[in-house]
Amino acid sequence: MKKASATLLAMTLGLAMAAPVAHADGYGTAGCGLGSILFGDDPGIIQVLAATTNGTFGNQTFAITSGTSNCADSGGGSASAKAFIEANRESLSKDIARGQGETITNLSALAGCADEAAVGTTLQKNFSEIFPEASVNDTQVSESVLQTLKSNTALSCKLLS
């Protein structure tokens, strides 16, 4: 029994030491994109641990007292709409292709647009300008979405300046 528990302890340590280790530079990207809050590495022990214990990487942007940075703001207006588009890009691209959906409803509210259905149809029509190819980055996407909303004055997105 004594020997068994000693071996057990050795196994624990061995297992822990042999665990694949992620690197601290693997997560986080600049900007408001979803990448700024996710673990970037492929699944490994660290992700399992984080899932178990709900650890996150400290992000000053979201501190309660940090003042309102762009990424933490969902109060309406161009800056918050831009952050929304960048963080929701993958989901929003599908809703734009479909011409409707939750992200379009919420984006319309941020931009102060009168008619979200019209926003959906307009964005869908302009799909190829917003997403001309797979490699456009999040900032380019957010700029073209906002440009589309602003230039279609019939949408009267009054919170965009």
Number of residues in the chain: 161
Considering beta carbons, is residue 57 or 151 the nearer one to another protein? 57
CA 60 to chain centre: 16
The token pair at 10 is 């050795």
How near is the Cβ of 102 to another protein at its closest, in Å? Answer: 7
DSSP string, 136-150: --HHHHHHHHHHHHH
CB of 41 to another protein, least distance (A): 8
List Cα–Cα distances, 149 to 93, 103, 106, 138, in angstroms: 15, 14, 14, 17
Residue 40 C-beta: closest distance to another protein, Å = 5
Residue type for position 128: S
In the complex with another protein, the residue whose CB is nearer, 28 or 150, is 28
Helix (H) / strand (E) containing 47: helix 45-53
Task: Please state the closest distance from residue 19 (CB atom) to another protein, in A.
Answer: 5
Q: Looking at beta carbons only, is 29 or 151 nearer to another protein?
A: 29
* Residue closer to another protein (CB basis): 99 or 143: 99
